[in-house]
Chains A and B, each alone.
Chain A
Amino acid sequence: MIKKRVVLIFPHEVVSQPVVYHLVKDYNLMINILRARVTPQEQGRLVVEISGSKKELEAGMRYLAELNIDIQSLARDIKWHENKCVHCTACIPHCPTDAILLDRDTMEVSFDKQKCIACELCIPACPYQAIEIVI
């Protein structure tokens, strides 16, 4: 059993297709949707956690690639610009997974990519545009 968190970017023509249904039904994968939305450019953007056997996962990924769905690893998706962060902590109460962490002694903010689920709640909370979503 392998677990993988990825960002799936759907091109305009695929947005209307039941892709997740096929991943479950045809490839026997477990899908946990962390976030889904259609961007202003009419692209679909789905953040998912996919689990299944190595073989099934690879087959599922091939299916997605054939549909021209761009598969990105989640960690690359949200960028924390350390040089722009002033450690004000305005983002702290909004992060649901503690990916943005505050050391209460040094009062310094840090970012753990592994814990980030790209929910984007921190982005409007930051007054310094220090957190960026890379599409």
Chain B
Amino acid sequence: MKTYEEINQKIRKGEAVVVTAEEIIDIVEKKGIKKAAKEVDVVTTGTFAPMCSSGAFINFKNSKPKIKAQKAWLNGVNAYAGLAASDIYIGATELSDEDLLNKVFPGSFKYGGGHVIEDLVAGKQIKLKAISYGTDCYPKKEIETVIDIKSINQAILTNPRNAYQNYNVAINKYSDRTIYTYMGILRPKIGNANYCSAGQLSPLLNDPFYKTIGIGTKIFLGGGEGFVYWEGTQHDPSVKRGTNGVVISPAGTIAVVGDLKGMSPEWLKGTSITGYGASLTVGIGIPIPILNEDIAKYTAVKDEDIYTQIIDYSKDYPNGINKSYGEVNYKQLRSGYIEVEGVKVPTGGLSSYEKAREVAEILKQRIKKGRFELTKPVKSLSSGE
């Protein structure tokens, strides 16, 4: 019905009709799928949540004489240096050698790789230490210097797994003490239930069969621009789906990349998960071109139509037992309470709905103003269809 080029022409002229994944719900309800698909050109999605499989490649200006970094630290946090001489990778969950970890339980993990990335993006000065064994071409054996985002050659955010399509609801059913997980603090006797998805705003939940989101798709990443470079690790399109095609447990993922120099600390936040570790909270927004009625229908998905599983994180998850204690939808989760085994349980989120909404709105404005065009994927993600 519409092509990428037709939509991009409209964007260039400032005539594209762009709405968020929340707004399309009302439009479809009022006007019907047919009319909505004709009138709307782009639907913007958003998410803002801790995404542990994130990190950044950094190429620092080499010293004189030169060093072939063998081991490296940024503000004391370990960086991977098993690459060419002045290339390093700082992973979001990496910590410093001095971190107390969980020795005093639960550990607080106040400063890790995610915080280094946030500080770097914020323009702060970062201490770089590197050691080596010395070679004829790279004789220096140790450097201690200060870098910042401007003084380094490249800083490329490269996240192998982001934007999970749906996620578990975590409970503590079996332990008699409070447990500290990557899904947050879970009190005993199912004292609370934590979830982590933007639901009806979440990118892959609005494109359940990856008809438009694929390799090469340009996205909002960390406040700047990025691209989907591959399907994410653990991408699994084969999980069970509801009659609306929406997955009912964690499924698809994307691997994303972008220039850290164009990003903002507002959308890349160092994260400290008590008792678990450090991470990076990433803001991602993906535009979905409304090429036909099918795609329009998928973007109109509502929180009450997106279901997920309640999983125990005290015994089952740690031991690889795949058992659900019930199915709930995101309308229930966002209401503040769900029912688990007949008991009312308060819910907490890890994914910020408020920020997801803001991402979708920013992306909408960028497209409307002609500052962001859409790209057709060069290859689709495996869809399980």
Contacts and interface: CB of A to CB of B under 8 A. Distances in A.
Most chain-B CB neighbours within 10 Å: which of A94, A107, A127, A129? A127
A129 B110 contact: yes
How big is chain B's contact interface, by range? 35 or more
Contacts of A90: 184-185, 194, 348-350
B346 interface: yes
Interface in B329-375: 334-336, 346-355, 357
B185 A125 contact: yes
Contacts of B108: 124
Most chain-B CB neighbours within 10 Å: which of A93, A94, A107, A109? A93
A43 interface: no
A89 B49 CA distance: 11
Contacts of B355: 86-88
Interface in B224-269: 269
A88 B350 contact: yes
Q: In terms of DSSP, what is the predominant structure of the interface of chain A?
A: loop
B92 to A, nearest CB: 12
B353 to A, nearest CB: 4
A69 to B, nearest CB: 28
Interface in B265-286: 269, 271-275, 279, 281
B33 to A, nearest CB: 27
Contacts of B184: 90, 125, 127
A87 B354 contact: yes
Contacts of B354: 86-87, 106-109
A102 interface: yes
A88 B110 contact: no
A128 interface: yes
Nearest to B194: A90
Contacts of A88: 48-49, 281, 349-352, 355
B192 A93 contact: yes
Interface in A78-135: 86-94, 102, 104, 106-109, 124-125, 127-129
B281 to A, nearest CB: 7
Most chain-A CB neighbours within 10 Å: which of B48, B271, B350, B354? B354
B214 interface: no
B50 interface: yes
B348 A93 contact: yes
A107 B346 contact: no
Nearest to B356: A107
B377 interface: no
B334 A125 contact: no
B350 A86 contact: no
Given A102-B336, A108-B354, A128-B269, A93 B50 contact: no
A124 B185 contact: yes
B134 interface: no
Given A86-B352, A86-B354, A88-B48, 12 more contacts: A87-B354, A87-B355, A88-B352, A92-B349, A93-B187, A93-B192, A93-B347, A93-B348, A104-B336, A107-B334, A124-B185, A127-B184
Interface of B: 48-50, 106, 108, 110, 180, 184-185, 187, 191-194, 269, 271-275, 279, 281, 334-336, 346-355, 357
